[in-house]
Amino acid sequence: MSAVQTVTLDGPFAMQRGALQSPTFAYETWGELNAAKDNCVLIFTGLSPSAHAASSPADPSAGWWEDMVGPGKPIDSNRYYVVCVNSLGSCFGTTGPASVDPTTNELYRLTFPVLTVEDVANSAAYVLNHIGVSQLHTVIGSSMGGMTALAFCLTQPGRSRRLVSISSAARSLPFSIALRSLQREMIRKDSDWQQGNYKIPGNGPIQGMRFARKLGMITYRSAAEWAERFGRERTTDTLEPDNPFGMDFEVESYLESHANRFIGTFDPNCYLYLSRAMDLFDAADHGGSLEASFTSLQLEAALIIGVETDFLFPVSQQEELALALDEAIPEVTFKRLASIQGHDSFLVDMDRFRPAVAEFF
Amino acid sequence: MSAVQTVTLDGPFAMQRGALQSPTFAYETWGELNAAKDNCVLIFTGLSPSAHAASSPADPSAGWWEDMVGPGKPIDSNRYYVVCVNSLGSCFGTTGPASVDPTTNELYRLTFPVLTVEDVANSAAYVLNHIGVSQLHTVIGSSMGGMTALAFCLTQPGRSRRLVSISSAARSLPFSIALRSLQREMIRKDSDWQQGNYKIPGNGPIQGMRFARKLGMITYRSAAEWAERFGRERTTDTLEPDNPFGMDFEVESYLESHANRFIGTFDPNCYLYLSRAMDLFDAADHGGSLEASFTSLQLEAALIIGVETDFLFPVSQQEELALALDEAIPEVTFKRLASIQGHDSFLVDMDRFRPAVAEFF
């Protein structure tokens, strides 16, 4: 069962560096729009999740933010009409590089225009138009989704009254750019990538994707958590007994099994486009500096959350964002959480994140 | 010109997990052994450097620790007889996987026994015997070299009076194991690795080595330094103009040029063996716990230095080492430096490191 709904645009969709003909946008919803139409909460995802943030009668499987969204949850579907969109450029119902270009009847692959976070933000506006929402109660996003939520507020001032940005940043810095650049190179240099022309559906650059995912998983957590979790435990079943460089430590076997689960569920070209979009994002592009860009914001309040052990999106970047927002909008709350799970904390340290988000709503 | 000297063992060399027949050990020296033979300082290197720590009349080219070793430098060759060894398993004169096995007249390649940090430490004893040094003034090492220096003190108690360990650790933790495991996998999965049987001399797994080096470089520095150094600068000459995923940011171009310099200078199989040796190291193996292992130490003093921005060998690991040593030996100094260059600080932040080391000597 799937709760995914779609809307297909009747006409061209302008992107910052190109255009798409009649793209489709996928989304899921929880709760009901009230009579005043002022209770809609829009969720943007990180790089890889689908629109399935939480279970619902139409799809009882657990979503990627199951503990955060639903009846009586911090983003309470008894009170709010919650919408989560699959990002433009992704591969879970929304048009992306793995979709058919209706003007050629071929897959887009690398003919897909360079994607920006602003394009992802703008695409959500069509979903909101389609479901009859002119103004949002809140736009919320974590990781890449936090960038998209901020871009939404910058490109469509006034369309949301409130912003929540979690473990995100106002711009990408060279450390995370370097890591993502290496991840993309690992995919592109896999000969099975075939310059983006691998068979779809099919295997494609499996080894490159495995490397990219493993590196991602290493950077999404923290050294402290892994020390606590794995220590120096050895695997009970050494996977390559005759190989002096085979997997031996528990942490190696953990990475291998999780990376293998990711492969096949996410299209490599989509991964490349979304990853690059994060590098390109700089909120200061909207005005010359963060402060100048933020003068156009018509937000009433913002909540910025960061995690001390996040080294991919360091808490100093959330603090920078909160300080710049504080010059521009009436009410800014900055929360620095002591979670030890690094960048991924918003997915797992629910005991800290649930109250932090619930308080804002 | 080369200042490298070698000694070849006349007989077998026992390793923890195997043995070598008549291995050769390469080393360089600075200064003179005094009459009392009590002024020798032994340096162990990190994973990749050669024994050429500093210039000398025999080899005026700059060494990898040029600012630290030499006449009037913190490790003063006017006062000390300084010896730096090329690690067992490496490829700069000392026997390693890229050397010929005299029992078969073939290259060792993967027939080289699994290497441990203790093996590297023990190999240095033969160099010391050869040059007539029975007791060291100090053994010093940074990064992997700090592990080796500690292993030397554990396996040969009393042979050094003092220990200096810089940006190192008493054991490898899962975060750094995961990173090194991924680096090794990137080399092993390169089809040009050919199960270790690539042509020597030749190209071998160039792409895998490029990935491994780039990942290494990312983890050797800190996000703060790179933000300061590169910001969001774009390259002046985009290297792949038609490629939407080509290098664009200055940091990407920096990694590419530095990784290319590394390739060809370091043997891939040697890299695999030395990298794995770091994972395997745990000083607690010598007694069941750090504290129990350290009871056998016969050190008079130790200096432990860590850097706050090092996330590969976090400063908490140096603190753990210093605290455990403090229970076992008379004088332990722990210095926490505020360098922003991360793990590599000991190579570049000489304004902080020179006085910290000089004070100890």
Residues A153 and A257 in one domain: no
Residues A249 and A299 in one domain: no
A242 domain-assigned? yes
Q: What would the pLDDT profile of A6-36 be if each residue is shown by its tens digit?
A: 999 999 999 999 999 999 999 999 999 999 9
**Residue B104: CATH number of its domain:** 3.40.50.1820
Catalytic residue among A142, A143, A167, A253: A143
Does A255 touch chain B if contact means CB atoms closer than 8 Å?
yes
Residues A185 and A168 in one domain: no
Q: In which residue ranges of chain A is pLDDT below 50?
A: 239, 241
B276 domain-assigned? no
Residues B180 and B114 in one domain: no
Residues B64 and B103 in one domain: yes
Question: What is the reported pLDDT for A230?
Answer: 87
Q: What would the pLDDT profile of A174-189 be if each residue is shown by its tens digit?
A: 999 999 999 999 999 9
Q: What would the pLDDT profile of A123-159 be if each residue is shown by its tens digit?
A: 999 999 999 999 999 999 999 999 999 999 999 999 9
Contact A172 B244 (CB under 8 A): no
Residues B330 and B315 in one domain: yes
Question: How many structural domains comprise chain A?
Answer: 2
Question: What is the reported pLDDT for A243?
Answer: 66
A287 domain-assigned? yes
**Residue B220: CATH number of its domain:** 1.10.1740.110
3-state SS track over chain A? CCCCEEEECCCEEEECCEEEECCEEEEEEECCCCCCCCCEEEEECCCCCCCCCCCECCECCCCCCCCCEECCCCEECCCCEEEEECCCCCCCCCCCCCCEECCCCEECHHHCCCCCHHHHHHHHHHHHHHCCCCCECEEEEECHHHHHHHHHHHHCCCCECEEEEECCCCECCHHHHHHHHHHHHHHHCCHHHHHHCCCCCCCCCHHHHHHHHHHHHHHHCCHHHHHHHHCCCECCCCCCCCCCCCCCEHHHHHHHHHHHHHECCECHHHHHHHHHHHHHCEHHHHCCCHHHHHCCCCCCEEEEEEECCCCCCCHHHHHHHHHHHHCCCCEEEEEEECCCCHHHHHHHCHHHHHHHHHHHC
DSSP designation for B282: B
Residues A185 and A79 in one domain: no
Whether this model's pTM surpasses 0.90: yes
Domain-ending residue, one of B271, B303, B335:
B271
Q: How far is CA B261 from CA A185, A350, B254, B266, in A?
A: 18, 45, 11, 10
Catalytic residue among A310, A339, A344, A345: A310
Question: What is the reported pLDDT for A236?
Answer: 58
Residues A202 and A310 in one domain: no
Does B215 touch chain A if contact means CB atoms closer than 8 Å?
yes
Residues B299 and B214 in one domain: no
Residues B160 and B51 in one domain: yes
Does B262 touch chain A if contact means CB atoms closer than 8 Å?
no
A338 domain-assigned? yes
Q: Domain range holding A137?
A: 5-172+281-360
B195 domain-assigned? yes
A324 domain-assigned? yes
Q: How far is CA B314 from CA A202, B150, B183, B311, in A?
A: 42, 17, 19, 5
Residues B106 and B246 in one domain: no
Task: Quote the ipTM score.
Answer: 0.92
Q: In which residue ranges of chain B is pLDDT below 50?
A: 239, 241
How many residues does the structure list for chain A?
Answer: 361
Domain-ending residue, one of B271, B296, B314:
B271
Residues near B27 by beta carbon (within 8 Å), at least 6 away in sequence? B4, B5, B6, B7, B51, B83, B84, B85, B86, B127
Domain-ending residue, one of A271, A303, A335:
A271
Residues B145 and B13 in one domain: yes
B residues 277-316 near A, CB within 8 Å? 279, 282, 311, 314
- The candidate with the shortest Cα–Cα distance to A47, out of A117, A114, A109, A110, is A117
Question: What is the reported pLDDT for B291?
Answer: 95
Bridge-based pairing state of the strands B81-85 and B24-30: antiparallel
A89 domain-assigned? yes
A276 domain-assigned? no
Question: What is the reported pLDDT for A203?
Answer: 77
